[in-house]
Amino acid sequence: MEIGLQHLTKVFPGKGRKNKNKEVVAVDDFNFVIPDGKLVGLLGPSGCGKSTTLNMISGLLKPSAGKIFFGDKEVTCLPPEERGVGMVFQNYALYPHMSVEQNIRFPLENLKGDQKLDPNQMKERVEEAAKLVKIEGLLDRKPGELSGGQQQRVAIARALVKLPRVLLLDEPLSNLDARLRLQTREEIRRIQQKTGITTVFVTHDQDEAMSISDLIVVMKDGVLQQIDSPQNVYDDPANQFVAQFLGTPPITLYDGRIEQGKLWIGNDAVLDVDQKQDQNVVIGVRPEGYILKENGHLHNEFVRTEVMGRDMSVLSKNTACQAPFVRSILSTEHLHLLQDNQAVFDLKPHKVFLFDVNDGQRLRYALSAIAESRDLE
Ligand code: ADP
Ligand code: MG
């Protein structure tokens, strides 16, 4: 089921006398389509409007403006139960006194009219859903007798048992420990691919969003920043916020400038840039964008190395860097190129992004390695 959002907006009024005029624009004019059968990650820091967006899609929250479509049909004014959505929340809220089986069956018991099921049909549906999330052996247990990961599977089964057209997950893994989080997110991906159900997955964890989404929607302060495949969001960020929000270790930012067709960090001309006009810019370099090189162009002060198995992380310093340290990921083979107190690098042009110093928008000037012939002039 394709989900279309048109000018979707939610404004919360300010609370209390003091804040009467401080309304919050939680979701600001969203226009995008969630394609049928895909898993879409809504990603952004806490408070950026992810849950608000999800709750408007589910029907739990009424938009202040704009429309929501499921396929060709407008559902903006439909109540949640008529939208055919399954929801899973962070606190999975299972009924503690009911068995797993009863918990999963619960949504089926209130079905009315031609949707009504007889006990045998319900049993079949519950068993199917339990099997899908691999808890068919636990149906007689109470939630208190399950691990956190198993409880979350029950919650997912409960959301799937009505065969929803859309599955909405709001930070479903936050209550799980690190290892279970990894496992469960792969499980969610598997279930989504097996059922082909259109799924919206809310998370503030970029790693989580990157690993399981077909498409990522990056949000900040209620404003859509970028919607793209995980790889494109990483390789081709729309602005400085997106570039900084995605990637571990994070991108390093330098205060730099363009002068006479070269890109400068401090006293180092590091790349050629196809832009005649001199200007200050913010330069972002992905950690894998550095190459250790004897006669490289960027001169950083070497701090230390941290081995990470096949690769190593080199920590260096540069006064133009906005953070205390520059972190670069390099192959251990190049370790010998570290010189006394210096880490001398060349930069891979496609791993370097330029941003406007005022608004952080991406400046798409073409970058290339410094042409050595011109160096000799
Ligand atoms: P997220 O899920 O991304 O953490 P939310 O969608 O919950 O963010 O919230 C977005 C913004 O809207 C926040 O500033 C939050 O304080 C505000 N907000 C959310 N719900 C309400 C509400 N019921 N009343 C007033 N403000 C709200
Ligand atoms: Mg939230």
Q: Whose CA is nearest to atom 25 of ligand 1?
A: 12
pLDDT at position 377: 44
C-beta of 12 in contact with ligand 1 (< 6 A): yes
Q: How far is the CA of 48 from the centre of ligand 2 (A)?
A: 8
**Pocket mutation for ligand 1, best pick of 48, 54, 55, 202 (most atoms within 8 Å of C-beta):** 48
In 3D space, the residue among 94, 99, 152, 162 whose CA is nearest the CA of residue 128 turns out to be 162
Return the amino acid letter for 240: Q
Write down the domain spans for the chain.
Answer: 3-245, 252-368
Contact 50, 223 (CB under 8 A): no
Residues 280-337 have pLDDT tens digits of 999 999 999 999 998 999 999 999 998 777 788 999 999 999 999 999 999 888 878 8
Query: What atom of ligand 1 comes closest to residue 48's alpha carbon?
Result: 3
C-beta of 197 in contact with ligand 1 (< 6 A): no
C-beta of 46 in contact with ligand 1 (< 6 A): yes
Over residues 199-219, mean pLDDT: 96
**Pocket mutation for ligand 1, best pick of 8, 10, 11, 12 (most atoms within 8 Å of C-beta):** 12
Q: How far is the CA of 45 from the centre of ligand 2 (A)?
A: 9
Residue 224 CA to chain centroid, in angstroms?
12
pTM of the model: 0.92
Spatial separation of the C-alpha atoms in residues 158 and 125, rounded to whole Å: 10
Residues 146-197 have pLDDT tens digits of 988 899 899 999 999 989 999 999 999 888 888 888 988 998 999 999 999 9
C-beta of 48 in contact with ligand 1 (< 6 A): yes
Ligand nearest to the CA of 90: 2
Q: Whose CA is nearest to atom 10 of ligand 1?
A: 49
C-beta of 171 in contact with ligand 1 (< 6 A): no
Q: Whose CA is nearest to atom 24 of ligand 1?
A: 12
- Backbone φ and ψ for 206, nearest 5 degrees, come out as -65, -35
Q: Whose CA is nearest to atom 5 of ligand 1?
A: 49
Residue 48 CA to chain centroid, in angstroms?
12
Q: How far is the CA of 220 from the centre of ligand 2 (A)?
A: 13
Over residues 236-240, mean pLDDT: 98
pLDDT at position 123: 95
Burial of 21 (0-12, 13-18, 19+ CB in 10 A): exposed
Q: Tell me the Cα Rg of the chain.
A: 25
Residues 328-366 have pLDDT tens digits of 999 888 878 887 799 999 999 999 999 999 999 999 999
Ligand nearest to the CA of 50: 1
In 3D space, the residue among 369, 290, 375 whose CA is nearest the CA of residue 329 turns out to be 290
C-beta of 47 in contact with ligand 1 (< 6 A): yes
Query: What atom of ligand 1 comes closest to residue 49's alpha carbon?
Result: 6
Instruction: Look up residue 10 and give its two tokens.
Output: 């939610």
Q: How far is the CA of 46 from the centre of ligand 2 (A)?
A: 7
Q: Whose CA is nearest to atom 16 of ligand 1?
A: 47
Q: How far is the CA of 131 from the centre of ligand 1 (A)?
A: 36
As a CATH number, domain 3-245 is 3.40.50.300
C-beta of 52 in contact with ligand 1 (< 6 A): yes
